[in-house]
Amino acid sequence: MRIAVAGTGYVGLVTGVCLSEVGHDVTCVDVDENKIKLMESGVSPIYEEGLEELMQKNMSAGRLHYTTDYKAAYAHADAIFIGVGTPEQPDGSANLSYIASVSRQIAESVEQDCLVVVKSTVPIGTNDKVEQFIHDFLKRDVKVEVASNPEFLAQGSAVHDTLHAARFIIGTESKEAEATMKAIYEPFGLPIVSVNRRSAEMIKYACNDFLALKISYMNDIANLCELVGADIEAVAKGMSYDARIGSNFLHAGIGYGGSCFPKDTKALKYLAHQNGYTLRTVEAAVDVNAEQKTKLFHKASERMITFQGLKVAVLGLAFKAGTDDLREAPSLDNVKLLLEQGAEIVAFDPVADENFKKRFPGGRIDRGSITYVKNPEEALKDANICFVFTEWKEICDVKPKSYKDLMSIPLVYDGRNIYDTRDMEQAGVEYYSIGRMAVNDKK
């Protein structure tokens, strides 16, 4: 099947590459000429495990193409996937301007009957509007239907999540559109759940917000564990054996980040308000997460008189390991606070450092400064305090003894609970994590 994909971010590019991998002829469309040239050279513009290899493989097979010429790409496509961004607006609503721009381009370009597939996360009812919008601007007498096909990709494992998905959700309003969607996904050999469009749109939000709720609940329980002397990891282990709860998303930390959970919780909260309803559980998750991000900074502030002039090691900048994405990353809030307090930050991240430099260039910023280094040990050398924000393997591999040997003051605040508290105590490190008693508090 001839498929065009609008947008080459996480959703669009991964979708296009994986559709080509199962045999479809795919053209990925983007307005950025430099990005297109980069992809044509076989280089992925995003860091995602396994993506670049599949790009090169399917380009060589002649099934994967890139272009800025949307008119040519859309003209004779059997299906056009929309994978552009729907960023959060100040009031929490989704910005649909990119969806509208692509929809109009499609309407003015298609020369044959086709199915438009909205893969972007959009508020409930958006697909109805997209279909009407396209019909309003159609230039030719062709039939265009719109289907909802939300993505469920986790950054860092997006390729695997697509090729080995638990299910594909398709939302359609006709048997013909449903048949086309099933034909597109049949080569994957995976379960397909077929519903109407609005249900498909809601499934996306309901899934993401449920997982965000689970994370915030565990972080809330972790905070209480610290106060009453319980251990969140022992609590999570006990909970995980309950089949009604499961073992996933029980890991306490410094909050969720990325492109989905923060945006989608706020969007559903906004949608509920627009309809005169309050999603109290979702609002609680948003509030807990906002406070959780800087929990360790405030805990360290109680321990230290000041950060002014202190060398602060920051290990990990991405919102999670396996990606270079910084959207809603806890590191952003904490680094900003540290710089305002006059800290001399030395930061390490194996992948996301270049993106971080775009927001915090090296050198003097506010009352402090930031320097980027190539390994954790260099960041720890003579540091007065260390914050761990991402669980990269390079960071997990640092031995407890290294903190004692390298740091001027072996004081560590771990937002990912990487280390065993006893190992850090035996190494002579003053160690604080999430939901576990600090070694000095146990005495």
Given a cut of 50, is residue 282 above it in pLDDT? Answer: yes
- What is the distance of C-alpha 45 from the center of its chain? 16
Q: What is the DSSP letter of 89?
A: P
- Contact (CB, 8 A) for 138 and 102: no
Residue 443: predicted pLDDT: 43
Q: What is the pLDDT of residues 26-78, one digit of tens each?
A: 999 999 999 999 999 999 999 899 999 999 999 999 999 999 999 999 999 99
- Where in the chain are the domains? 2-195, 203-291, 293-441
Active-site residue, from 28, 260, 386, 396: 260
CATH class given for the domain over 2-195: alpha beta
Q: Do domains 203-291 and 293-441 have the same CATH topology?
A: no
Which of 203, 219, 202, 207 minimizes the C-alpha distance to 284?
219
Which of 390, 382, 415, 414 minimizes the C-alpha distance to 400?
414
Q: Does domain 293-441 have CATH number 3.20.20.70?
A: no
DSSP 126-173: HHHHHHHHHHHH--SS--EEEEE----PPTTSHHHHHHT-S-EEEE-S
Rounded to the nearest 10 degrees, the angle between the axes of helix 126-137 and helix 197-228 is 140
CATH class given for the domain over 203-291: mainly alpha
Residue 416: predicted pLDDT: 96
Catalytic: 260? Answer: yes
Residue 440: predicted pLDDT: 52
Residue 205: predicted pLDDT: 94
How would residue 405 be classed by pLDDT, with cut points 50, 70 and 90? very high
79-82 and 2-6 strand pairing: parallel
Mean predicted confidence (pLDDT) in 108-132: 96
Q: What is the pLDDT of residues 178-194, one digit of tens each?
A: 999 999 999 999 999 99
